[in-house]
Chains A and B, each alone.
Chain A
């Protein structure tokens, strides 16, 4: 069965060259000067603030997209309204859209010369180059995941249980809470994990709308870029390792969820 080994070698070799070795190299380089140096690099005020800001943005974006995702999935699967295919594609759009385009679009609405931006700024609401703009950008790019995970689950389970519950006299809220939600919980869980990963790792769109004010509007990803550009490559690697660890935590969560579900 040499073809089996050949295939295995091809697959693993490709993955090693493209994924494993590059990431491993960065981890190695981050710790090259010792663990103390690594800790020092990621506990500077800027780094800590960047981490806090990244988590804060995720704490807003993820619940928002989760609530939306469940409603949207329900609308798409259960209420076959005209144009639901288009809605499906619009929801998928953030997956495919360039982050630079996302940033530009947001500036065209909320920037000083944008549709609402002038009025907002004059009334004291800074959207672009402040937290709200970064949250909007992050919500945009991490929008699809809960929907995409919940839709197939909803399709699969069908609505018999819900109809039964309604027949038995439950209100629509009760039906949703006691019947629908538990049935889709795995889809929601996967969706939340993916949304979180995406929100934590956003770079392109946020970099266009953030203004990169060190200690104020720099997320962890922007911090990595900033450190790289300040010739503090070790710091950049260290911050990258933190982000990579968050990514690995996401992968772990996905794997554990898959095991639990099965």
Chain B
């Protein structure tokens, strides 16, 4: 009997909990994002509530690996605003009918921030890692997340590949470089943030990371430096609203592309997409900067490199694993 009473009590509690979530006297938006911009969005969602458009709006936020989060939304994770590491993770939701096809049809092509792939190294750069060739020298241990679960990893791989093409190598030679590179990768975490943890935890000589992650780690007191290689890819991070989202979601999107919010991103180490702020932050401009379009665009790249069965990376994972047994 006592158990039945307990159970009834529990169910009442659940009911109360459910009710209090729904009608808390304001609008609740859900933001589902990839792992790294947690700190930036925590600030921005608060700031947004102080604006006219955002009055009374509060946010539920969820962060995780970009692919992980995208799949979760596809599976039913409630989301009004999605912010992922790369465009294909938004396109997945276009295919499932949750995001409008026209999501990228705006002044910024659907992007909210940029970054570049950098080499994070130990303080003082004891192994003198400056170029992509340095990564494949004997005894250099590279940390890099798993390309099949992490958006950041895919940026890394395309940065490596594209850098080789920029240096004049052919497609085959560039793929060969990727093979070499992955022989040096000792740990593959699920997400970019987790691989940063691994690196700051003491493993590896160099971490392939987003520039903004390296900056964040330094701000949090971690002992590392980072090198912006001459050839690297421009990381473009998309943001979109879902079809059923309330109007405030679209207002939020406008807000985070406006000057004030872009400044917050800039201070957090992200490169703003808003041209008005182009000169405000002194981000280094690598001479050999290229974009994903330069290496074929995501649609082609996803098929060629990241197809689970026939993709180049799947093959490399198999070979590298085999060679080391």
Tell me the residues in window 1-55 of chain B with beta carbons closer than 8 Å to chain A beta carbons.
Answer: 3-4, 6-7, 9-11, 13-14, 17-18, 21, 30, 32, 35, 38-39
Contact A60 B11 (CB under 8 A): yes
Contact B38 A128 (CB under 8 A): no
Whether A64 contacts B21 in the complex (CB less than 8 A), given A126-B76, A129-B76, A212-B63, comes out as: no
Alpha-carbon separation in the docked complex, A215 to B63 (Å): 12
B217 within 8 A of A: yes
Contact B78 A56 (CB under 8 A): no
Whether A211 contacts B77 in the complex (CB less than 8 A), given A229-B194, A231-B222, comes out as: yes
Partner of A129, one of B61, B72, B193, B194: B72
Nearest Cβ on chain B to A225's Cβ, whole angstroms: 10
Contact B75 A212 (CB under 8 A): no
Tell me the residues in window 72-91 of chain B with beta carbons closer than 8 Å to chain A beta carbons.
Answer: 72, 74-78
Contact A228 B72 (CB under 8 A): no
Partner of B10, one of A63, A211, A214: A63
B64 within 8 A of A: yes
Partner of A64, one of B7, B13, B72, B222: B7
Nearest Cβ on chain A to B76's Cβ, whole angstroms: 4
Alpha-carbon separation in the docked complex, A216 to B62 (Å): 9
Question: Which residues on the A side are within 8 Å of B38 (C-beta)?
Answer: 230
Which chain A residue lies CB-closest to B30? A213
> Count the A-B residue pairs with Cβ separation under 8 angstroms: how many?
82
Whether A131 contacts B72 in the complex (CB less than 8 A), given A64-B7, A213-B61, A231-B220, comes out as: no
Question: Which residues on the B side are within 8 Å of A107 (C-beta)?
Answer: 75
Scan A208-220; emit 1 where CB is below 8 A from any B CB, else 0. 0001111111000
Contact A121 B76 (CB under 8 A): yes
Interface residue count on the A side (C-beta < 8 Å) = 30
A111 within 8 A of B: yes
Partner of B14, one of A56, A111, A230: A56
B173 within 8 A of A: no
Question: Which residues on the B side are within 8 Å of A214 (C-beta)?
Answer: 60-63
Partner of B3, one of A67, A111, A228: A67
Nearest Cβ on chain A to B321's Cβ, whole angstroms: 21
Question: Which residues on the B side are within 8 Å of A217 (C-beta)?
Answer: 62
Contact A129 B78 (CB under 8 A): yes
Nearest Cβ on chain A to B16's Cβ, whole angstroms: 10
Which chain B residue lies CB-closest to A59? B10
In order of increasing CB-CB distance, the 8 nearest A-B pairs are A112-B76, A111-B75, A59-B10, A63-B7, A129-B77, A213-B62, A211-B77, A63-B3
- A selection of 13 A-B contacts at a CB cut-off of 8 Å is A59-B10, A60-B10, A63-B7, A66-B3, A112-B75, A117-B75, A128-B75, A130-B78, A211-B32, A212-B64, A226-B63, A228-B197, A230-B39
